[in-house]
Amino acid sequence: MRIFSFSQPLNFMRLKWPAIILSTLLILGSFFSIATKGINWGLDFTGGTVIEVGFANPADLTAVRQTLTDAGYGDAVVQLFGTSRDVLIRIPLRTDVEQAAVGDSVIKALNAQQAEPVTMRRVEFVGPSVGAELKEDGGLAMLVALIGILLYVTMRFEWRLSVGAVVSLAHDVILTMGLFSVLQLEFDLTVLAAILALIGYSINDTIVVFDRIRESFRKLRDTSVDDTINDAITSTLNRTVITSLTTVLVLVVLFYMGGALIHGFATALLFGIAIGTYSSIYVASAIAEILGISREDMLPPPPIEKEGENTDALL
Amino acid sequence: MLNQNPLWRYIVVIGMLLLALVYALPNLYPEDPALNISATRGGTVAEETRLQLEQSFRSANIAAKSVVLEEGQILARFNSTEDQLQAREIASQQLGANFVTALNLAPATPDWLTAIGATPMNLGLDLRGGVHFLMAVDMKAALDKNLNDMVQTFRTDLREDKIRYRNVQADIDRGQVQISFRTEEDVVAAETALRNRDRELVFSTASDNLTLLVSISEIRLKEIREYALEQNITIIRNRVNEIGVAEPLVQRQGSDRIVVQLPGVQDTASAKEILGATASLEFRLVDEQGDLAAALEGRVPPNSELYYTRDGRPLLLEKRIMLTGEHITGASSAFDEYSRPQVSIKLDAKGGNMLSAATRDAIGRRMASVFIEYKPGTEIGEDGNPVLIKQQEVINDATIQARLGRDFRITGISSPGEAQNLSTLLRAGALIAPIQIIEERTIGPSLGKENIELGVTAIQWGMVCVLIFMVIYYKAFGLVANCALVANLVLIVGIMSMIPGATLTLPGMAGIVLTVGMAVDANVLIFERIREELLDGRSVQQAIHHGYDRAFATIADSNITTLLVALILFGIGTGPVKGFAVTLAIGILTSIFTAVVGTRLLVNLFWGGRRVQSLPI
């Protein structure tokens, strides 16, 4: 069984300019949304307190809000979390009370109102300095990851491909953050992890295509650059689609069965993988092509590892 | 002939898989609700205590699975959480304040697995429930105190050297001490004198040439910070032991942070109270004239108080306090010239003067160090939290050999361990930098359990989906890839259980699910390559050989870059992100191994080196 079986390479590069215009528009749109609507940063980044409590019966959110207002937490955001018995309460950073004590005092206030005591499921308090540091660290992690990849790909391949790979990664990250901004989904620590995982996944995809481009350049002697790239993309298309499919399969499972805490993670990766698959075909290769990659750049051939040597080393 | 493997390869791969399987096994056994009973500082748990406990559990009709004494702690296992809670009541009633009873989940690993060091994976707090605190040490307070100490010291030093000064004051914002003089000669003389006393000082003069600016060297600053952090960590460790938590974690993070993780603790309010409670230290003279026997009967002399040492020996101490712990700037254990253990103590200038005055007429008398701490009792106060009880104990008493000053030492300590312990307590009583909780995460036990279940179901169903897809798409080769996928999961779990530092968190589980999805990638690459080679008209054996050969370079390149990302995540991330990075990195390595080496063996076994006309791919 095969998904695609082509006798002729598909002409992917014919669409390179429309693809680049589309990507540019999407990136500009993401930036616009991030600039105007901003990103709905989660507790991990903003600091504050999140309290998840379980009620014995389906919770009455209005009553909970009233209780909290009476207790002096009028700025609390109350919502259901996962089920009708689980309530998530967010309280922004405050200056008037002892920060770390907010969680305890909220639970006490709720217990005083309820006939049956609520169960504390989760209390998270993040101080203002921690949140700011996390944003910095996360940004730094992405930056370092991109630079690391830039260097590695330049070393193993060629600088034009390297630029293509990094631009396509940045493209994936920006679009995913744009999606979170447009839909105002909460951007928490797990989403950051997902975006970093996405960088890993997307570079994997891109490298597979690049590897094939390098090979095609050496195999097809009298073919234009466009056709060579088309040949490489076509012959890896099956693999690209199947791997994306299996990964999407498990992510869908994770989305539906992984629980509410992991929703953001699954959403970011599902979207990111769709974008990443597109970008490793179009953005990465097209940019390398526009930058003027040619057969000469791929020569003299870098040494290819012998399969035997490497398996021996692994054992 | 192509595509044949030597026997040793099969043996090595099968051996590795079996090893991983054995080490993954402990995760299948459920955990027992258990009690951990340990003695508070200094005490020991004896076999008698164990027998007593066993007896009282029996008489209360609680069926304990086992009650054993190991490594100075009693571990009692029960069949249910109800039994465990009931047993805890009994145990804490019977044993009193000298023992700490902690609830615990003890892994029910069979003995033969424990014997080879196989233990279940460490679960993160998000999976097992508990409290996580991140605390910041207030370094500014430590540095400010140091500046104020310097002011006192300079005054004394200059007076002793008979150098006249107008004023000595601390400039906290600039982190320096300003000393103003009347003449420039005095400035020079003071600089020489102070430099001779302390080589780590940095001097400069203000524009008026009459003010000497003194700051401390970078090295000393770093020392002060390190000291403040270490001191806090020591204190928190001691306190955590008092809360009664099985497997607590107290760890430094960065230059001024401390991570505290208390698995199983739900009552954060009391945990915070205990961690934040202050300890202090007092030096007092021993009242040797007083009648100890009468005091024990309740007739304590008016100027004295009755104290007990750690081993329960009563002592009469004078009410007057010679010195309090806040003047201690350092305490360390070492050996004296006869290589007997000793503790050297450093005081600030004011403390030195106070002690010097107090010991002038007390040579030959005994001086006791009293450690004071607040500990939660069994009684519950109005606010619903346990009432803190003041606990005082004499940690040392020694004869004053000479008039004491800013540096003195306590000798005649029985063992190096005891000296270490004493210096720790002395430092704990002299806390110079307060701490603040900057992050707190509490996960309830029910949520932890749910998270595990959700994670496991997601992994199971994710696996099933991928397994079915692979068989449909690649037929027999799909089965081979599926074997690799299952082996991959076993390897991940086995390795995670083997590495002592690896902790499984919820994002970590997401990482495993993702690896399951991505692990087939290597096989997809190989199989697609083999199909291409077959389409190009190569023979079956050639196709297998070239398929693996060509795909490997691609697999290596793409996975090394992903591994690079995982390493960066591990290096920069904290907590959950680190957990995710660990599983991702392990997953990448194991998937290369199973997908490339493992499947090659199977493919060679079934189709390699034979006259096969076509491949079921």
Whole-angstrom distance, CA of residue B463 vs CA of residue B468 = 9
Q: Which pLDDT does position B139 carry in this prediction?
A: 84
Report whether pLDDT(A77) > 80.
yes
**Is the pLDDT higher at B104 or at B493?**
B493
In this structure, CATH architecture of domain B7-26+444-607: Up-down Bundle (1.20)
Which CATH number describes the domain made up of B30-108?
3.30.70.260
Angle (deg, nearest 10), helices B445-498 and B506-535? 50
Domain chopping of chain B, boundaries: 7-26+444-607, 30-108, 140-221, 278-416
Report DSSP letters for B391-413, one per residue: EEEEEEEEE--S---SEEEE---
φ and ψ of A234, to 5 deg: -60, -45
pLDDT, residue B325, reads 81
* Gap between the Cα atoms of B455 and B14, Å rounded: 28
pLDDT at A315: 41
User: Is the pLDDT confidence value at B223 over 80?
Assistant: yes
Asked if the model's pLDDT at residue A27 lies above 90, the reply is: yes
Least confident of B269-283, B542-556, B562-576: B269-283
pLDDT of residue A163: 92
B56-75 b/e with 16+ CB inside 10 Å = b?
Answer: bbeeeebebeebebeeebbb
Backbone angles phi, psi at B80, to 5 degrees: -140, 165
B158: left (phi over 0), alpha (psi -120 to 50) or beta: alpha
Q: How sure is the predictor about B41, in pLDDT bands with cuts at 50, 70 and 90?
A: low
B380 vs B403: which has the higher pLDDT: B403
**Chain segment B285-315, per-residue pLDDT in tens:** 888 887 888 888 878 888 888 888 877 788 8
Of B506, B556, B565, the CB nearest to A261: B506
Closest residue in chain A to residue B532, using alpha carbons only: A235
Is B255 an interface residue toward A (CB < 8 Å)?
no
CATH annotation of B278-416: 3.30.1360
The 3-class SS string of B417-445 reads HHHHHHHHHHHHCCCCCCEEEEEEEEECH
Q: Which two tokens stand for residue B54?
A: 């066993």
Candidate ranges B119-133, B497-511, B544-558; pick with highest mean pLDDT? B544-558
What does A3-61 look like in DSSP terms, one character per residue? Answer: S---SS---GGGGHHHHHHHHHHHHHHHHHHHHHT---B-HHHH-EEEEEEE-SS---H
Share of chain A above pLDDT 90, in %: 21
Q: What is the β-pairing status of strands B503-504 and B122-123?
A: parallel
Tell me the nearest-neighbour CA distance from A105 into chain B, angstroms.
10
Residue A97, SS3 per DSSP: coil
Question: B441 and A140 in contact by Cβ < 8 A?
Answer: no
CA–CA separation, A87 vs A51, rounded Å? 8
Number of other residues whose CB lies within 10 A of the CB of residue B614: 8
- Which residues touch B15 (CB under 8 Å, ≥6 apart)? none
Do B553 and A305 count as a contact with CB atoms less than 8 A apart? Answer: yes
- Chain B residues lying within 8 Å of A120, measured CB to CB: 266, 442, 444
Take residue B312 and report the two structure tokens written for it: 């329960």
Q: How far apart are CA B23 and CA B26, in angstroms?
A: 7
Percent of chain B with pLDDT over 90: 10
Does A190 contact B510 at a Cβ distance shorter than 8 Å?
yes
* Angle, in degrees to the nearest 10, between helices B540-572 and B506-535: 160
Mean pLDDT of chain B: 83
CA distance B448 to B440: 16
The answer to which of A32-36, A99-103, A206-210 has the lowest mean pLDDT is A99-103
On chain B, the residues whose CB falls within 8 A of the CB of A126 are: 438-439
B177: which strand partners? B170, B214
Please give the average per-residue pLDDT across A229-243, as a whole number: 90
Of the candidates A219, A238, A228, A200, the one whose C-alpha atom is nearest the C-alpha of residue A288 is: A228
Class of the CATH domain delimited by B140-221: alpha beta
Tell me the C-alpha distance between B545 and B101, whole Å.
63
pLDDT of residue A312: 47
Residue A251 is nearest to which of B470, B517, B600, comparing CB atoms? B517
Q: What pLDDT is stored for residue A100 in this prediction?
A: 66
Q: What is the DSSP letter of A298?
A: G
What pLDDT does residue A98 have? 65
| Pick from A122, A137, A190: CB nearest B447 | A122
Measured in degrees and rounded to the nearest 5, phi and psi for residue B394 equal -85, 115
Mean pLDDT (whole number) for B558-575: 80
Residue B95 CA to residue B378 CA, distance in Å, equals: 12
Superfamily holding A12-40+130-301:
Multidrug efflux transporter AcrB transmembrane domain (1.20.1640.10)
As a whole number of angstroms, the distance between CA A122 and CA A302 comes to 54
Question: Tokens 């660290």, residue?
Answer: A137
CATH classification number, A48-126, choose in 3.40.50.740, 3.30.70.3400, 1.10.260.40, 3.10.450.50: 3.30.70.3400
The tokens for B19 are 């090893």
CB neighbourhood size of B316 (10 A): 22
Contact residues on chain A for B458, CB-CB shorter than 8 A: 250, 253-254, 257-258, 262
Please determine, for residue B42, whether its predicted confidence score (pLDDT) is greater than 60: no
Given a cut of 80, whether residue B213 has pLDDT beyond it is yes
Residue B435 is predicted with a pLDDT of: 78
Residues of A in contact with B533 (CB under 8 A): none
- Chain A: residue nearest B470 by CA? A246
pLDDT at B382: 52
- Per CB-CB distance under 8 Å, the chain A contacts of B593 are 314
Question: Can you give the pLDDT at residue B440?
Answer: 85
For residue B315, the SS3 value is strand
- The per-residue pLDDT for A118 is 83
Residue B415 has pLDDT above 90, yes or no: no
Closest Cα in chain A to B590: A314
Average pLDDT, chain A: 85
In this prediction, residue A313 carries a pLDDT of: 44
B339 φψ region: left (φ > 0), alpha (ψ -120 to 50), beta (else): left
Q: What is the pLDDT of residue B17?
A: 92
- Provide the 8-state DSSP code for B200: T
B323-343 pLDDT, tens digit per residue, is 888 788 878 888 888 888 888
Residue B501, amino acid:
G
Length of chain B: 617
**Percent of chain B beyond pLDDT 70?**
92
Domain range annotation of chain A = 12-40+130-301, 48-126
CA distance B427 to B401: 23
Phi, psi dihedrals of residue A217, rounded to the nearest 5°: -60, -35
Tell me the chain B residues in contact with residue A151 when contact means C-beta distances shorter than 8 Å.
none
pLDDT at B390 over 60: yes
Residue labelled with tokens 């990103």: A39
Measured CA distances, B427 to A218, B241, B283, B422, B424 (Å): 70, 17, 14, 9, 5
Q: Is the pLDDT of residue B50 over 90?
A: no
Q: Which of A310-314, B186-190, B448-452 is predicted with the least confidence, judged by mean pLDDT?
A: A310-314
A248: chain B residues, CB-CB within 8 Å: 517
Tell me which residue in B13, B461, B561 faces A253 most closely, judged by beta carbons. Answer: B461
- pLDDT (0 to 100) of residue B479: 93
- Residue partners of B198: CB distance under 8 A and separation at least 6: none
Fold: same for B140-221 and B278-416: yes
Contact (CB<8Å) A239/B531: no
Q: How far, in Å, are B187, B202, B204, B220 from residue B194 at the CA level?
A: 11, 10, 12, 16
> pLDDT tens digits, residue range B95-109?
776 777 777 778 888
- Whether A100 sits inside 8 A of B528 (CB atoms) is no
Q: Over 70: is that where the pLDDT of B432 sits?
A: no
pLDDT tens per residue across span B501-541: 778 887 788 778 778 777 888 999 999 999 988 988 888 89
Can you tell me the mean pLDDT for B233-248? Answer: 76
How many inter-chain contacts (A to B, CB under 8 Å) are there? 242
> What is the mean predicted confidence (pLDDT) over B197-218?
86
Of B279, B432, B434, B274, the C-alpha closest to B348 is: B432
Residues 6+ apart with CB under 8 A from B41: B238, B241, B310
Separation CA B184–CA B203 (nearest Å)? 14
Which chain A residues are closer than 8 Å to B578 by Cβ?
A: none
Task: Report ipTM (2 d.p.).
Answer: 0.83
Segment A156-178, tens digit of pLDDT:
888 899 999 999 999 999 999 99
Query: How does pLDDT run across B593-609, given as a tens digit for each residue?
Result: 998 889 999 999 888 87
Question: From the list A103, A126, A189, which residue is nearest B577 (CB)?
Answer: A189
